[in-house]
Amino acid sequence: MRRVGAIIFVLAMTSSASFSVAGAGLSRAGFARTAPGAVHPLHVSFPLSKADTSPRSTSSCLTVLGLRCYSPGQFEKAYNLAALHTRGIDGRGTTIAIVDSFGSPTIARDLHTFDRAFGHPSDPSIPADPAILQDPKLTIIQPAGPVPAFDPTNPEMLGWAVETTLDVEWAHVFAPRANILLVETPIAETEGVQGFPEIVAAENYVISHRLATVISQSFGATEETFPSVQSLLHLRSAFENARSHHVTVVAASGDDGATNARADGSCCYDHAVNSWPSSDPLVTSVGGTQLTLDDAGNRVRSDVAWNDGFGASGGGTSAIFRRPGYQARVRDVTSGMRGTPDISMSAAVDGGVWIYLSFIGPQSPFHLVAGTSEAAPEFSGVVAMAAQEKGRGLGWINNTLYHLRYDDGLVDVTTGNNSFAGVTGFDATRGYDLASGLGTIDAPHFVRALARRADHGGGG
């Protein structure tokens, strides 16, 4: 239910489960995707034996839907988050700013219910995650102007409300004691410039008032959809401001693999393109992996670059930004341009995560979502924990990332590719690649290394 840069895939568990997606092309097994720029979802029904008002286990999702689904407790195991949370490295003392158009009218209540549902799940086959039971401080601001009243008949507002729910709940899963600052803007971001001036103004407010440790962005626009290069460059002030104020900025790399949406939102360019702000050298680009876990969260196989027929990890080289200094070591991969992503986290539809939302009615509050919209807030939680470990904000981290080693908690992803919609993409290979970046993470070792090596904005 979201546009390029962070498409959301929603599965509502009701008496006839609805799978709602926004993306490109036709997917597999009866699931369909609408154009990336569209926010009105396409529903495909899957009859269930009874109405579902609680999340399912992975094995149940496989039986009913042929897809894996994951809960917070499984990621506590898979990413080894428990090793951090049990020693108090949980984001406390930090603030994650999440920027979304419109927001959600029920996010405070939904976050509380999400915690209770997964902190002590009623289904014993779903692992508990007691770390999330401590409600974070959630603050909502609208620094770029008042947001219109929520209209449940407006598909754009519905799509952004789902996005908001995912961003808040899964940043919280990774850093359960971090404060969350939800920054709502009054204009929907689409392809090209629309919505970005308000986002930039809102982010500059957050940065200048020292309100956040890390900013999470689950949105983006294809570089070619901006009317000129200069029109894009004029929107970079928040990232320059973030670097000077030692605020980390992350962004989703996109869900259409090596290609992306056209200006009218249709899929897709017939050649490799990239999206901004993910492609900005001052932003940490977060791509997608596919995890294969059992009900307890144990890995059945190693993570692969996300490409499951529904979407694929955004990645490639920028058409605008030259290769930054921190990518000098991977110049053979990126050539003379900025390459994305930098790092990757869980994003697959076949391996989607549960969220809880109530603004569309109480009958089916649990939904499955996926895409790099998921990966970006997850990584923002990782950055928040590293900042807590460091004792201060990390600032711009890209230079540090490219100086980490694979014994520093980086986990190489060497399988898969991000070819999509008929456009040949890039293979995941040993070391850095344009499908998974530097790879994914083992959270305790990565957080420790990132905190120890963070240079507070220098280099690159």
Per-residue pLDDT averaged across 106-133, rounded?
A: 95
Q: Which of 227, 328, 321, 334 is nearest to 278 (CA)?
A: 321
Q: In angstroms, how far is the first alpha carbon of the chain from the final one? A: 35
Per-residue pLDDT averaged across 425-452, rounded?
A: 98
Q: Are 59 and 125 in contact (CB under 8 A)?
A: yes
* Neighbour count for residue 190 (Cβ, 10 Å): 23
Question: Looking at the domain 9-453, which fold is it?
Answer: Rossmann fold (3.40.50)
- The string of pLDDT tens digits covering residues 221-271 is 999 999 999 999 999 999 999 999 999 999 999 999 999 989 888 889 999
pLDDT for 192 equals 86
* Neighbour count for residue 148 (Cβ, 10 Å): 11
pLDDT for 52 equals 54
Measured CA to CA in angstroms, residue 117 lies from 111, 114, 132, 237 at distances of 10, 5, 10, 40
pLDDT band at 362 (very low <50, low <70, confident <90, very high): low
pLDDT for 6 equals 44
- The string of pLDDT tens digits covering residues 4-23 is 344 455 554 433 333 333 33
What's the full length of the chain, in residues?
460
List of residues 6+ apart from 88 with CB closer than 8 A: none
Enter the pTM of the model. Answer: 0.92
For residue 255, give both structure tokens: 């869900």
Per-residue pLDDT averaged across 56-71, rounded?
A: 94
pLDDT band at 36 (very low <50, low <70, confident <90, very high): very low
Q: Is 131 a residue whose pLDDT tops 70?
A: yes
Measured CA to CA in angstroms, residue 307 lies from 116, 147, 208 at distances of 32, 35, 39
